[in-house]
Chain A
Amino acid sequence: MLPALRLGQEVFGYVSPAVQRLAADRLGTSPARAEEVATFYVMFHTAPIGRHLVEVCTNVSCCLTGGDRLFEYLKHKLGVANGGTSPDGRFTLREVECLGACGTAPAMLVDEEMHERLDPKKVEEILGRLE
């Protein structure tokens, strides 16, 4: 079920009810099963998101090295709250839990690619490269 929903998300951008039904149908199970999985795991999106997903870790080790400041900075810069999408549809920003990069904190994922040892300048460069 997880690989099926991931594939659906890759193709359609998010795990819509139609994707859930399709996955359930192909796997011979009920749509409720698919929905249960789609809503349990944070990496599945049940609503459309921006063109790029920016996920900032604010857990302890990242915060000790400025992770929460980085998150506040990005909220301000993009003009969004946690989970929000910038008005131009370019970025969806959200706070996430520990990414397993505590020694090279602070860290963020951009479209599932990990970036570490961040500061505002580095974040600007990374996001500036994206359409």
Chain B
Amino acid sequence: MSDTLILTKRWGKPDSAALRTYRADGGYAALDKALGMEPAAVVDEVKKSNLRGRGGAGFATGLKWTFLPKDVRPRYLTVNADESEPGTFKDRYIIEHDPHMLIEGIAITCYALDIHAAYVYIRGEFAKQARILEEAIDEARAAGILGPRLLGKKDFDLEVVVHRGAGAYICGEESALLESLEGKKGYPRLKPPFPAIVGLWGKPTIINNVETIANVPWIVANGGDAFAALGVGKSGGTRLFGVSGHVNRPGVYEKPVAYNLKKLIMEDCGGVVGGRKIKAVIPGGSSSPVLRGDEIDISLEFDAVKAAGSMSGSGGVIVFDDSTCMVRALARISKFYAEESCGQCTPCREGTSWMEGIVEKIEHGHATAEDVAKLEQVAGNIGGQTICALGDAASMPVQSFVKKFRDEFLRHVEERRCPYGDHGWGLDQSSRPAVVGGVRY
């Protein structure tokens, strides 16, 4: 497999976030190249690259870009830096270590799509990252890279604005994000119409994840075919996989899209702490269905993980060792969705609280076998019944945890207590460094 690094190659270098070092390493050469191309040719390269959205859905980026109606202006670009899915922690490091790579990606994308205003929606908790990105944008603007003339060469006005959220998981959902940008509470919109047709302030809007856009300069510099060649089938390039939980070296690893999940955990992350066995792995953020320890010898490519019954999602891999109580793990996940349901749709607003309550009851040994059946019934009545995907995101973990670890749920019922106690909850940090794109934390 290829060792090519696209996103993390500059992480850890001195002053890697500064414009000076970015340019010294060849930064903004891709923008220069793009400006010598027809905008449509840039879009073609991205289509050829098989770049798929890194935010979770894995939708083909080039195809999404073609959904913009031809004759409606203005159009907007919105970059989703809301990164709130439990287990996901990658975009923040792109912004911390290499913000100009993102800015260059934004500039190329806007040039390709004739967009003159881009908004980066960053979660409110990332105060430091918002500051770093704003400073980098100011630097790029002062250097004449962003409008009114791109790179000082092409008349093309471009404004890039950082907009901070204020604490709401739902605002990572693209239409809730638009509502929030417009200054409202984050209630997702009914689709269709999709944002590419009716988006921000009613205008056509492209919404892409930070990691997605950060890949664009490399694609333009090296060609879409070269990016596609790093992957397999309809998925090109490398991806950032964030691994957390019971591994010896948690962190962010840049690997080809089709990298093997077991290899990532056992080799790159040094296996499980204390040499214990893997009980379960969540492969793509907390909403992706859980896999048993014996189901992880799979490719992480979007379609391969789907074939294995889960989702590659946001690339957030959470590892549980064999001492961990899966009911307790699900209780915490269910609490999260109950907390973050925006309350707009009844099945999700009511259902998430019901699920949280029932799982808690099972964990504490107060439940009956009927409660386990009721839990499955409630979960089965949320997915597909709501405006946005949060309802599905909340019910998929419940359904998969119960299906794959039914014995554990029933043991809680039979023994009227949690048979696992506190095991697995509270790993010692001192001897366990994190490795983020090759940098030790």
Contacts and interface: CB of A to CB of B under 8 A. Distances in A.
Point out which of A66, A103, A118 has the most chain B C-beta atoms below 10 A from its C-beta.
A103
A100 B92 contact: yes
Contact of B166 (A27, A41, A61): A41
Nearest to B320: A64
A103 B317 CA distance: 10
A27 B336 CA distance: 33
Interface in B218-264: 242-246, 250-252
A2 B166 contact: yes
Q: How large is the interface on B (under 10, 10 to 19, 20 to 34, 35 or more residues)?
A: 35 or more
Interface string A110-127: 001110111100000000
Interface in A42-69: 42-44, 58-61, 63-66, 68-69
A96 B332 CA distance: 12
Contact of A64 (B88, B126, B246, B342): B246
A96 B85 CA distance: 13
Point out which of A6, A36, A102 has the most chain B C-beta atoms below 10 A from its C-beta.
A102
Q: How large is the interface on A (under 10, 10 to 19, 20 to 34, 35 or more residues)?
A: 35 or more
Nearest to B343: A40
A69 B422 CA distance: 10
A63 B89 contact: no
Contact of B124 (A41, A113, A119): A41
A101 interface: yes
A59 B128 CA distance: 21
B324 interface: yes
Nearest to B125: A99
B166 A59 contact: no
Given A100-B125, A102-B89, A114-B128, A41 B84 contact: no
Given A2-B164, A42-B168, A100-B123, 16 more contacts: A1-B184, A2-B165, A2-B166, A2-B183, A37-B185, A42-B167, A43-B125, A59-B286, A60-B245, A65-B427, A98-B85, A98-B87, A102-B316, A104-B436, A118-B429, A119-B430
20 contacts: A2-B165, A3-B164, A37-B185, A41-B167, A42-B166, A43-B167, A59-B336, A64-B318, A64-B324, A64-B427, A97-B84, A98-B84, A98-B86, A98-B169, A100-B92, A103-B89, A103-B441, A117-B429, A117-B434, A119-B429
Interface of A: 1-3, 5-6, 27, 33, 36-37, 40-44, 58-61, 63-66, 68-69, 96-106, 109, 112-114, 116-119
Interface of B: 83-89, 92, 123-128, 163-169, 180, 183-186, 242-246, 250-252, 282, 286, 316, 318, 320, 324, 329, 332-333, 336, 339-340, 342, 424-430, 434, 436, 441
